[in-house]
């Protein structure tokens, strides 16, 4: 499948990026002489974690430097062929989301050769080798995990649904009757038996007069799910003066941190009410001939962010959602990393529900806080952009493990950011020189200050230390596939949930 994008990177440019990239969480290089079975461990580890890239025919950077690492797949082409066969035969369940392509190189002997590049996507499933071993990626290591960790990973990915499990609650006494009746009214369920109605909606199990709430039913309609489920499942609000917490002396809290508990719908409403209070009480500041508000984030963006956190968090993890307000940003941190195959790279375009019952139920209220049309996250980006604010920033798991951390910046964009951001969308990385070239900023130090400011805000990360070799990219950004001069092999098969 040949790509139609005309902004191709040349093979040499892509190879240069790979030579500059250190082996870590999502990148590994291997000689073609490696045993094919050993490569499978990395494939499984990447698919069970956050995905990654394997370059075959490239020597370990600890054993050679620069172009001397370009051994090529001609070193042992039979191994490469065998490895590709084993991917389909020796991984259970079968691996679905992966692609491969080749890059033309001149190897370290001066002969025409190739590198094979494999992109392993994060999977919705937990994969194992058929001999029984299961691996995840931690740093630059493939780590074998046991049954307890496999179970945790299945909850994390959503292949086991915490929300569908029995809660042990066999009485309706703990339910918020007003909220349940509102839901029945909104879904034409008025007059129906309570237990049967809940069962019909996936919120209870049982028969013959003996029923029990599912954990989704408890989270959605119990007066205090944290109490009846004996777990943390609320929203903790922390509001600070300034731009960071004070860890010595008197804490810099605007108000004492507190936790919002209760049915999930009321948790969302409580968080939005606090947000509205901040907007209402934020003093305006003088700018030019008039006043502008000091709190700029649109309510809709915050509502979408907090609703997503409530719907998609991992309730198997014993912790509350953390919402932290600072002068220059709001942070929403939800327990559990990105569900299914969702990553920072595809979160605006892909869909996957870890908790489909919770998603469905909240969406069926007439006053639903969420848009179940696949556009909520993308609309949040557009709303922030329309207000001339920086787009929402989702931190990758390599920076913030085991949580989803979203930052909404309460700052107007610097005028040059749009130009730099667009360039990064198309070209993966940028240098100080290139940034000056595309923005028209001639002063090296001024551009350095702009880049440093974007680094401090978390919009960029710096790769490399030496001035002549360093560049900047979005945190955790992969090389855009549209830049490859080779079309990727059409091997990627999909089993995406339509949720």
57 phi-psi bin (left φ>0, alpha ψ -120 to 50, beta other): left
Q: Alpha-carbon distance 20 to 25, whole Å?
A: 15
Residue 430 has pLDDT above 70, yes or no: yes
- In sequence order, the 6+-apart residues with CB closer than 8 A to the CB of 173 are none
Give mean pLDDT, residues 301-327.
Answer: 96
Question: Across all residues in the chain, what is the average pLDDT?
Answer: 89
Buried b / exposed e along 324-333 (16+ C-beta atoms within 10 A): bbbeebbbbb
SS3 state of residue 17: helix
CATH code 3.30.950.30 region(s) in the chain: 11-145
Q: What is the pLDDT of residues 85-141, one digit of tens each?
A: 999 999 999 998 899 999 999 999 999 999 999 999 999 999 999 999 999 999 889
State the pLDDT at residue 107. Answer: 95
Residue 206 confidence (pLDDT): 93
Q: Is the pLDDT of residue 337 over 80?
A: yes
Q: What percent of the chain has pLDDT over 70?
A: 90
Token duo for residue 11: 């093979």
Reported as half-sphere exposure (CB side, CA atoms, 13 A), residue 316 has a value of: 23
Confirm if 158 and 122 have CB atoms less than 8 A apart.
no
Of 17 and 495, which is predicted with more confidence?
17
pLDDT at 220: 98
Beta strands in 374-440 (DSSP E): 393-394, 403-409
Please give the distance of CA 224 from its chain centroid, rounded to a whole number: 29
Predicted confidence (pLDDT) at residue 11 exceeds the cutoff of 90: no
Task: Please give the CATH topology (third level) of the domain spanning 11-145.
Answer: 3.30.950
CA–CA distances in Å: residue 1 to residues 222, 483, 493: 52, 14, 14
Two tokens at 96?
Answer: 């679905």
Q: Which is nearest to 444 in space by CA: 429, 460, 433?
A: 433
**What is the structure's pLDDT at 494?**
39
User: What is the spatial distance between Cα 8 and Cα 486, in angstroms, rounded to a whole number?
Assistant: 9
Span 37-51, average pLDDT: 94
- Is residue 203 helix, strand or coil? coil
Q: How many helices (H) and strands (E) does the chain have?
A: 15, 20
| Partners of 312 in the β-ladder | none
pLDDT at residue 448 in the model = 94
Residue 208 pLDDT: 84
Q: What is the pLDDT of residue 477?
A: 76
For the chain, give every residue range classified as CATH 3.30.565.60: 235-409
Model confidence at 445, in pLDDT bands (50, 70, 90)?
A: very high
pLDDT above 70 for 289? no
Closest CA to 499 of 373, 344, 364, 370: 373
386 versus 482: the higher-pLDDT residue is: 386
How many Å apart are CA 12 and CA 464, to the nearest integer?
19
* Rg of the chain on CA atoms, in Å: 25
Fold annotation for 235-409: Heat Shock Protein 90 (3.30.565)
485 — pLDDT class (breaks 50, 70, 90)? very low
DSSP, res 194: H
| Axis-axis angle for helices 299-312, 376-386 (nearest 10) | 160
At residue 479, the pLDDT reads 66
| Residue 315 near residue 235, CB atoms below 8 Å | no
Which residues pair with residue 7 across a beta bridge?
A: none
Q: For residue 470, is the peptide bond before it cis, meaning its omega torsion is within 30 degrees of 0? A: no
Return d(Cα 3, Cα 155) in angstroms, integer.
Answer: 36
User: What is the C-alpha separation between 436 and 415, in angstroms, rounded?
Assistant: 13
User: Contact, 161 vs 209, CB < 8 A?
Assistant: no
Q: What pLDDT sits at residue 480?
A: 57
Give the C-alpha separation, 328 to 408, whole Å.
9
């Amino acid at each position: 499948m040949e790509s139609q994008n005309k902004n191709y990177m040349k093979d040499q440019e892509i190879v240069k990026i790979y030579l500059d990239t250190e082996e870590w969480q999502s990148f590994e290089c291997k000689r073609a002489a490696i045993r094919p079975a050993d490569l499978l461990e990395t494939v499984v580890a990447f698919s069970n974690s956050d995905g990654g890239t394997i370059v075959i025919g490239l020597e370990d950077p600890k054993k050679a430097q620069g172009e001397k690492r370009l051994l090529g797949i001609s070193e042992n082409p039979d191994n490469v062929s065998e490895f590709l066969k084993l991917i389909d035969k020796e991984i259970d369940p079968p691996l679905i989301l992966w692609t491969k392509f080749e890059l033309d190189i001149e190897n370290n002997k001066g002969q025409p050769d190739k590198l094979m590049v494999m992109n392993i996507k994060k999977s919705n499933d937990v994969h194992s080798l058929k001999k029984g071993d299961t691996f995840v990626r931690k740093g630059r290591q493939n780590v074998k995990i046991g049954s307890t960790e496999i179970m945790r990973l299945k909850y994390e990915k959503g292949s086991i649904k915490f929300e569908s499990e029995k809660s042990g609650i066999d009485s309706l006494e703990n339910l918020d009757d007003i909220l349940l009746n509102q839901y029945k009214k909104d879904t034409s369920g008025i007059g129906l038996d309570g237990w049967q109605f809940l069962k019909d909606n996936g919120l209870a199990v049982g028969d013959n007069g003996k029923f029990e709430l599912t954990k989704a039913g408890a989270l959605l309609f119990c007066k205090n799910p944290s109490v009846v489920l004996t777990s943390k499942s609320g929203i903790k609000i922390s509001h600070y003066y300034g731009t960071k917490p004070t860890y010595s002396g008197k804490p810099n809290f605007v108000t004492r941190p507190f936790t919002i508990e209760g049915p999930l719908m009321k948790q969302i409403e409580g968080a939005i009410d606090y947000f509205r209070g901040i907007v209402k009480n934020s003093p305006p500041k003088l700018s030019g001939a008039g006043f502008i508000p000091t709190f700029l984030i649109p309510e809709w963006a915050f509502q979408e962010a907090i609703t997503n956190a409530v719907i998609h968090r991992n309730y198997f993890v014993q912790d509350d959602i953390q919402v932290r307000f600072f002068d220059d940003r709001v942070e929403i941190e939800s327990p559990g990393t990105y569900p299914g195959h969702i990553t920072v790279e595809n979160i605006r375009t892909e869909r996957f529900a870890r908790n489909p019952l919770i998603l469905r139920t909240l969406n069926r209220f007439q006053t639903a806080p969420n848009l179940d049309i696949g556009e909520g996250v993308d609309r949040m980006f557009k709303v922030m952009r329309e207000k001339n604010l920086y787009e929402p920033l989702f931190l990758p798991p390599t920076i913030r493990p085991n949580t989803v951390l979203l930052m909404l910046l309460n700052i107007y964009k610097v005028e040059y950011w749009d130009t730099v951001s667009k360039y990064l969308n198309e070209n993966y990385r940028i240098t100080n020189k290139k940034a000056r070239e595309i923005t028209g900023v001639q002063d090296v130090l001024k551009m350095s200050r702009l880049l440093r400011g974007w680094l401090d805000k978390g919009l960029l990360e710096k790769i490399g230390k030496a001035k002549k070799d360093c560049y900047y990219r979005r945190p955790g950004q992969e090389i855009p596939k549209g830049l490859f001069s080779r079309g990727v092999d059409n091997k990627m098969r999909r089993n995406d949930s339509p949720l």
